[in-house]
Amino acid sequence: MPGKKSLKKMEKQQSAKDKTDQKAKEKRNKIIGAVEIPDATSDEVMGALKGMKAITPTGVASKFNLKVSVAKKMLKELEDNGTLMLAARSHNLKVYAFKMD
């Protein structure tokens, strides 16, 4: 028949549990793959986009060192603002151009 655990053993077990709970909490709070998006309307971004022959998400991603998904969101935002328009589209590629006023 097992006896009661000693106070020292119970403290050790509790501290081990606290450490694992703390590690799990840190893991949940950790942001994975966070990317800082450049301001789409800044002069630097607009100048770089005007210098590109074809404005595509892949080209923007390589130019600004972004993920392609982030570049797509940035270009979609510029299209919604009225700065860019969709010039051509296929099932896997979008090409944007500046709107002519």
Question: Any idea what the CATH number is for the domain that residue 77 is in?
Answer: 1.10.10.10
Is the residue at 78 inside a domain? Answer: yes
Global confidence as pTM: 0.62
Express each pLDDT in 32-78 by its tens digit. 555 667 777 788 888 999 999 889 999 999 988 888 988 998 899 89
CA distance 7 to 55: 68
Q: How many domains are there within the chain?
A: 1
Among the residue ranges 19-23, 26-30, 91-95, the one predicted with the least confidence is 26-30
Map the chain to HEC letters.
Answer: CCCCCCHHHHHHHHHHHHHHHHHHHHHHHCCCCCCCCCCCCCHHHHHHHHCCCCECHHHHHHHHCCCHHHHHHHHHHHHHHCCEEEEEECCCCEEEEECCC
Is pLDDT of 95 > 90? Answer: yes
Is the residue at 63 inside a domain? Answer: yes
Is pLDDT of 29 > 60? Answer: no
Where in the sequence is the domain holding 87, given as residue range(s)?
53-98
Among the residue ranges 9-18, 25-34, 77-86, the one predicted with the least confidence is 25-34
Is pLDDT of 21 > 90? Answer: no
Is the residue at 85 inside a domain? Answer: yes
Is the residue at 65 inside a domain? Answer: yes
pLDDT of residue 10: 82
Is the residue at 89 inside a domain? Answer: yes
